[in-house]
Structure 1
Amino acid sequence: MDLPNFEGYSRPDLNTWFGDGYNPVGFAMKYDWVTKTYRIFGNMYLKWEIIPGLTFKTNFGIDLSILDEKRFNENWGTDNRINNPSSLSKGMGTDFTWNWTNTLTYKKTIKEKHNLTVLAGTEALQNDNHQQWGSDRDFPDQSSYLRYLGNGLTLNKGANETETGWSLLSAFGRINYNYDRRYLIEAVIRGDGSSRFSKDHRWGVFYSGSVGWNINNEKFLKNADWLSQLKLRFSVGQSGNQEIGLYNYLSVISPGYNYPFGGVVYNGSVVSTLGNINTTWETTTTYDIGLDMAFLNDQLTVITDYYWRHTTNMLVPVPLPPSGGDATPPFVNAGEVLNQGFEAELSWREDKPKFKYEISGNFTILKNEVKKLGGGRPIAAGRVDNGTFATLTEEGYPIGSFYMYEMDGIFQNELDIFTSPYQGPGIKPGDVKFKDQNGDNIIDQNDKVHVGSPIPKIMYGLTFNCTWKNLDFSLFFQGVYGNSIYMQINQDIEGFYRGFNVTKRFYDHHWTGEGSTNEYPRASWIGATNNKIASTRFLEPGSFLRIKNVSLGYKIPFKETSWVQGLRVYISVQNAYTFTQYPGLDPEMYNSDNLKGENVKNPDLASGIDWGTYPIPRIYTLGVNFNF
């Protein structure tokens, strides 16, 4: 690719500097990846009132996706060293899910004050997935019209096929009772059986209950016209989590491992993934106390909640001891996490003959803490380099907490290096300085500390809606505060991990001599030392405020006799603008694209790592709504 090069920072003719290969334009043009998805989904239901008050309802739905995917990696770059040889993979697949729910509901009112609703039901869900893939390599002609299986020169053409499935069977019941619309009671029980667990541990039973008091319906408040609602409520409920691999209870034996015996090498197999037949449902118990208030005929409403959410039997893949070998560990029930916080929502509305508006806001304060881990051993995850992980899940800290060296500035001269804690060989002026956390005057693994969390401390939103005559306008803001994001992509780019392009901010502000900066190191790929090591240098604030949606519409009036009852023309913008200090493409990302840890794959343990996540697009919509 013919791209501009800054003086001294690129050598297209030199392979040790990666030549002209690794640049974003090249990657975009030389990798052909096309995915087509065809989807059919829908549901139907039947409702039957057997006798007055007793109703049966059955609902059946399907969701079918057909996948057609083709990837071609073109051989290119100086001396054809990139993607050598060229390769093609072609895949077809189907994913089919059906869901069948049946409920029987009985409603009864006694003496106009006792209101009872009883519901019982079942639910069945099943998913089947079928994938077929073929591959070919070493294409003598890479023209687009010749990129088909069978045209490669390699004799080792690939073919594989997978078929997986899972199912869920549930039974549930619910009882609602209220007396004179003042005192409310609800009780729920639900049993779920999942094929993801072994046959002896598939079922989980979960309970919930709630009580409420509509204080505004009491006689002593009947003359309080200014009070529309005053409701005090308390609830406790359980829910289950089954989100693990489909066959966690089975061990996987993989061939292709050779072992020498008596001077002879024999073909062998190893247990590459350990199974666990004792894994069962993760359970979350939530306690919530809330107060709902409304005033002035519902013009002003206030909703508040304090919650305490305790997760037990947490599903985590606890790292194996050295005696376990290199096998991938199974998910086990080995942790407890506590989430607690406060939620509030406030809204105000006015309804006038020609002008109506409503403004509402909400926020959530959240504190997350790991209370217990199996064996007490921390879990490292979020691999950002060979043997280096960005997060550590440890008792007493938030789940997936960032754990790394803390940057303490830039070495300005040789005296600065000499008088600072020893940071390893090859340190030069202009290199990153790490903080000596334990005071032993040596920078090593013992100086890594917890430095932030990907979980926001506060989440909030603001909505404004108004209408004036036939015009309507809406505005929605969304934001978070207090979380961090690890920019792994900048560890590669600004850390000179490889000879890639650099960011403009690094080129403009990197260290060029004593006193020039205490934030960005010298520009050097060779002997980068501390400059490419995972540290708070690549940890960025993830707080943001986003204009999530803006919409303006106009209703065209029609006569009542017209066959068109209403027509509305509107224009809207999604993700209109984002206010943030985050230098990456999009701060609204919480899951890493690389969840690898110590053979760990769990998104909760490695969220908030930016590998160059594709940003949320800004969407402009011009539409028309008809009512007939």
Structure 2
Amino acid sequence: MIMKKLTTIALLCLFVITNVFAQKERLKTRSGSKESAGTISCVFPRIFVGERLVITGDELRRAGNTSVINSLKNIDPSFMVVENLENGSDPNMVPEIQFYGQTGLSNVQPLFIINGFKVPLRRVMNLDLNMIDHVVLIKSAVGKSEYGAEGGQGVVEIYTILPTTGSVNVRYNGNVDIQSADLSSYNLCNMWEKLVGEMFAGYGSFEMGDDGNIIPLDSRYIDLMKRADEGLNTDWLSQPLRESVSHKHSLYVDGIVDKFSYGVNFYFNNTEGVMKESDNRVVDGNLFLSYKFKGVHISNQFGYTENRGHFSPYGSFAQYALMNPYFSPYNADGDLVRYFEDGDFSQANPLWNTTIGTKSKIKGSDISELFKVNWYINSYLMARGGFLYSKLKYKGWEFKPVDHTDFISSDAELRGSYEEARTNREDVGGEFGLDYNRQLGIMGNLTTSLVANFDRSKIDYSMLSLYGMSSSSLEFAGEQPAPIYIPDLTSKVWRVNAIANYSYASRYYFYANYCLQNTSVTSMKSRTNGFWSIGACWAMHNELFLRDLKWIDEFKIRLAIGNVGGDNESITDKIEWQKRHDWNVGTDFSLLNGFVSGRFNYFTAKADHVCAVAGVMFEDENQSVMIDAETESKGFEAFLNFKVLNSANGKYHLNLFAAVTSFKNKMKNASIHVGSESANLFEGSKIPLNALMAHASLGIDPTSGKEIFAAADGSNTFDYEKAAIVDCGDMMPKNIGNFGVNGEFWGIGVSTVFTWDRGSMMFNNTLSSQCDNADEHFNFDKRLTEYGRWKQPGDASYFKSGSSDNQEVYSTRFVQKINRFSLSYLSVYYDFRNAGILKDCFLKDCKLSFSMSDVYTRSQKDRKQYERGTLYPFAKTYSISMLLAF
């Protein structure tokens, strides 16, 4: 297959060379067309023929104002932030991110680069959005291969702003966010509905009156109905929630004085969560200095970030969803109730834990130093070097006093707990490169680079768990055991890249790269491996046969192939390096003086020796289990942009945009290794890489009220068999897209982003746990009473009998296809830049904005509705911001 692709490239090169010498007259580039197929940040601009997306800082801020991650998600559908149905909008959680074309079983997060050096996702989350100049999303082998094994899942290059002309420039950005919890996905019973549900479940004695009303016959329900008539109906979901107010501020001062330039940034972000007492605070400072002397350009960037966060002492939001609405948090004297006694049943009050000193915090700091030198030896040769040092420290701890409700059933000597985890990471990196750029006359332009990189990372990790505390105060924890220290993990990685770029007459572009990587931490057969990529681009709009078509501004065809890498986890030294073969073809176009523009890409990616390791209980022992498989991903993406209005003086413009990504990720020939034993999984067949596996259900037996399963031998059974699980489809969407509009009219601007996805398979845990397997002693989803349980032989019911002894399992009965539609971002603003009042106030610019994030998400109705944010609710965000430039 690879030889066929190489042959295709060779034939294309032969055609281009023949065409080059047949046309002796060098064509002039049209006005408004680009000089190359795209360039990435480099001293000598090099040709980039692969698929990548360059997003300016202004485009990021038009798509969101919370973080660079959310803005990228709203712009490019292939940049997926996996929806976390548990943690919702928790400000202390880090999201899971995937690029399209996933081939890994673990560690599928893309590589993040800031100003040329690798950084963790936490640093990206803490980044000031106003400090970003542009972001480059690298998706094809061309570009990814330069990062070796780490670039296989995609690369996100982030470049911060540089000083602008003027001795002193001052810019301030202020933002106030108001958040409210989004509980639209919850469908819990109120007091009357809960009482009716309990009665139908057989928990009380009652009869039906002549008027159809329920008449209770026992004292408990007589009392509860009386209290319901008096207005008791506790809204437990609102108890841990608040309308939160957050604020962030960014101050940036820069300037250029002769050969010296500087930039100073201070950033403060105080995010208050919608659960009471949860927050995340970021304080960040950066200093940039640069000096040019003859052919030498020296720059230095120093940064310091401090991060502190508090998890809500109100605990898991799921606790409040289980609380019965006929329980009041306070007694008649106004004191908080610790336990609710209801016959033989008791339920703890989760609000109690907020009054006894429960605490859970994280804090960390991040310091970075980046030094770069560029030496322009002459007009075509340059040497460059860089050095990076960074140190990250994080500590998280949780304290639960002895009278915490988690210890209701615990022995006295085990009550009270303190848990702590510490992480220290130190990174040292270096880079040295030589760049050569030469105009070859009629033969075109040649740019080559030889770059060596070195990275050293040291990670220390320790944890401490203490149970059995004699006091409710952390200061009297007693004798603490020594923490458990995980052995230091020190890794050293070096890479050498050889890069060549060639262009001719603004029509033909070629790229080739070879990367040799060596790593000290690996379980592969060899510590050294090579990665490569080649690509070509044909700018057809500069050809003679198209240059007279005035309605074509730009039309390019791109092709890129390569062998890129990926990180593997292994328990043996006999595994090969993960090899991912990428193939990408696409086109870029612009028509009618930019009225219509867009791009289209088709990609395939195949990976061999993809491994993942997990710890499981096997034959009563903890053992490491490794999965080794082949994976395949293929799909396409398309982008369209319409410049509906665009005035020559820039006073008004209106743009419409739309994008869609479709992909399939498959796994085949998977094998599982436990110790010295191996077994094949799904041999000869392909299943989705994110397959949802469940037991085939035939519904509820009308005779017994139990669930009927399809056994592995084809017969029917009431028993759950692990061997009978089936592939129910892909948990990732088949299609993801967005569309929207942005425009400005005489200073008044608007920006909207709608996002959608379709075709993902999901196990509806709400129907399973809150209906089918609900314990009527707790509150439950009202669909349990609407659709009803099986009660007597002959009933055709959706939910099984309440007395059924079936265990809660993944059943196809609750596997559903999910389609989502959201208004993700809406913003309106007024820019005073053309207003005369600015001069009187000594301002260069002033901008006022109002925006909303996560404005609306279409809820699944009826049996497809599911709860979102079970541990921490999702939230809607309303923001007011102001920009001042002096």
Give the TM-score taking structure 1 as reference length: 0.75
Matched, 1:401 2:691: yes
Aligned to 1:533: 809
Matched, 1:505 2:799: no
Aligned to 1:570: 849
* Aligned-residue offset at 1:207: 0.8
Distance in 2, matches of 1:192 and 1:549, equals 42
Structure 1 residues 73-93: Cα deviation after superposition (integer angstroms, max 9, x where no partner) = 344449931584211123444
- Residues 497 and 193 of structure 1: CA distance in aligned 2, closer, same or farther (over 3 Å): farther
Distance in 1, matches of 2:341 and 2:747, equals 66
Aligned to 2:608: 312
Aligned to 2:630: 336
* Aligned-residue offset at 1:236: 0.3
Distance in 2, matches of 1:99 and 1:78, equals 46
Letter of the structure 1 residue corresponding to residue 518 of structure 2? G
- Residues 403 and 80 of structure 1: CA distance in aligned 2, closer, same or farther (over 3 Å): closer
SS in 1 for 2:449: strand
Aligned to 2:646: 351
* Aligned-residue offset at 1:209: 0.6
Matched, 1:462 2:462: no
Letter of the structure 1 residue corresponding to residue 533 of structure 2? S
Matched, 1:411 2:673: no
Distance in 2, matches of 1:71 and 1:307, equals 46
The answer to whether the Cα contact below 8 Å between 1:370 and 1:393 also exists between their aligned partners in 2 is: no
The answer to whether the Cα contact below 8 Å between 1:585 and 1:615 also exists between their aligned partners in 2 is: no
Give the TM-score taking structure 2 as reference length: 0.55
Distance in 2, matches of 1:491 and 1:217, equals 61
- Residues 63 and 473 of structure 1: CA distance in aligned 2, closer, same or farther (over 3 Å): farther
Aligned to 1:594: none
Structure 2 gap segments, 5+ residues each = 1-189, 205-323, 325-338, 673-677
Matched, 1:440 2:715: yes
- Residues 552 and 377 of structure 1: CA distance in aligned 2, closer, same or farther (over 3 Å): farther
The answer to whether the Cα contact below 8 Å between 2:708 and 2:717 also exists between their aligned partners in 1 is: no
Distance in 2, matches of 1:478 and 1:398, equals 24
- Residues 405 and 135 of structure 1: CA distance in aligned 2, closer, same or farther (over 3 Å): closer
Distance in 1, matches of 2:772 and 2:515, equals 52
The answer to whether the Cα contact below 8 Å between 1:555 and 1:567 also exists between their aligned partners in 2 is: yes
Letter of the structure 1 residue corresponding to residue 635 of structure 2? G
Q: Which has the higher helix share?
A: 2
% identical aligned pairs: 17
Matched, 1:160 2:456: no
The answer to whether the Cα contact below 8 Å between 1:585 and 1:613 also exists between their aligned partners in 2 is: no
Aligned to 1:270: none
Q: Say which of 59, 64, 68 aligns to 2:395.
A: 68
* Aligned-residue offset at 1:485: 2.3
SS in 2 for 1:313: strand
Matched, 1:620 2:872: no
Structure 1 residues 95-153: Cα deviation after superposition (integer angstroms, max 9, x where no partner) = 233433333221111226501111121222232222344443323331xxx213x524x
The answer to whether the Cα contact below 8 Å between 1:234 and 1:289 also exists between their aligned partners in 2 is: yes
- Residues 450 and 33 of structure 1: CA distance in aligned 2, closer, same or farther (over 3 Å): same
Letter of the structure 2 residue corresponding to residue 136 of structure 1? L
Aligned to 1:38: 365
Aligned to 1:171: 496
SS in 1 for 2:741: strand
What is the number of equivalent residue pairs in this alignment?
A: 533
- Residues 88 and 79 of structure 1: CA distance in aligned 2, closer, same or farther (over 3 Å): closer
| 1:32-181 equivalences in 2 (<5 Å) | 32-41=359-368, 43-74=370-401, 75-77=403-405, 80-81=408-409, 84-111=414-441, 114-142=444-472, 146-148=473-475, 151-152=477-478, 157-162=481-486, 163-181=488-506
* Aligned-residue offset at 1:577: 1.8
The answer to whether the Cα contact below 8 Å between 1:574 and 1:620 also exists between their aligned partners in 2 is: yes
Distance in 2, matches of 1:115 and 1:441, equals 71
202-211 vs 533-542, which moves further: 533-542
SS in 2 for 1:139: coil
* Aligned-residue offset at 1:356: 0.6
Matched, 1:211 2:501: no
Letter of the structure 2 residue corresponding to residue 622 of structure 1? I
Structure 1 residues 195-239: Cα deviation after superposition (integer angstroms, max 9, x where no partner) = 331485222211111111111111111210000112122110222
| 1:533-612 equivalences in 2 (<5 Å) | 533-557=809-833, 563-581=842-860, 583-586=865-868, 612=870
SS in 2 for 1:51: coil
Distance in 1, matches of 2:456 and 2:876, equals 36
The answer to whether the Cα contact below 8 Å between 2:696 and 2:811 also exists between their aligned partners in 1 is: yes
Structure 1 residues 290-314: Cα deviation after superposition (integer angstroms, max 9, x where no partner) = 1222210121113112211111111
Matched, 1:453 2:730: yes
Matched, 1:483 2:760: yes
Distance in 2, matches of 1:199 and 1:449, equals 33
SS in 1 for 2:573: coil
Distance in 1, matches of 2:392 and 2:853, equals 27
- Residues 200 and 60 of structure 1: CA distance in aligned 2, closer, same or farther (over 3 Å): same
SS in 2 for 1:220: helix
Aligned to 2:574: 278
- Residues 622 and 57 of structure 1: CA distance in aligned 2, closer, same or farther (over 3 Å): farther
Letter of the structure 2 residue corresponding to residue 372 of structure 1? N
SS in 1 for 2:784: helix
* Aligned-residue offset at 1:279: 3.1
| 1:174-253 equivalences in 2 (<5 Å) | 174-198=499-523, 201-244=526-569, 248=570
SS in 2 for 1:52: coil
Letter of the structure 2 residue corresponding to residue 151 of structure 1? A
Distance in 1, matches of 2:407 and 2:534, equals 69
Letter of the structure 2 residue corresponding to residue 520 of structure 1? F
* Aligned-residue offset at 1:280: 4.1
- Residues 25 and 285 of structure 1: CA distance in aligned 2, closer, same or farther (over 3 Å): farther
Letter of the structure 1 residue corresponding to residue 669 of structure 2? K
- Residues 443 and 80 of structure 1: CA distance in aligned 2, closer, same or farther (over 3 Å): closer
Letter of the structure 1 residue corresponding to residue 363 of structure 2? K
Letter of the structure 2 residue corresponding to residue 626 of structure 1? L
Distance in 1, matches of 2:850 and 2:477, equals 49
- Residues 529 and 325 of structure 1: CA distance in aligned 2, closer, same or farther (over 3 Å): closer
- Residues 125 and 549 of structure 1: CA distance in aligned 2, closer, same or farther (over 3 Å): farther
SS in 1 for 2:510: strand
Distance in 2, matches of 1:308 and 1:117, equals 28
Structure 1 residues 594-628: Cα deviation after superposition (integer angstroms, max 9, x where no partner) = xxxxxxxxxxxxxxxxxx46455433332222334
* Aligned-residue offset at 1:556: 1.4
- Residues 69 and 227 of structure 1: CA distance in aligned 2, closer, same or farther (over 3 Å): same
Distance in 2, matches of 1:183 and 1:223, equals 19
490-499 vs 364-373, which moves further: 490-499
- Residues 79 and 231 of structure 1: CA distance in aligned 2, closer, same or farther (over 3 Å): closer
The answer to whether the Cα contact below 8 Å between 1:549 and 1:575 also exists between their aligned partners in 2 is: yes
Structure 1 gap segments, 5+ residues each = 249-274, 380-391, 415-427, 588-611
Distance in 2, matches of 1:468 and 1:363, equals 28
Superposition CA RMSD, Å: 3.6
Letter of the structure 1 residue corresponding to residue 528 of structure 2? W
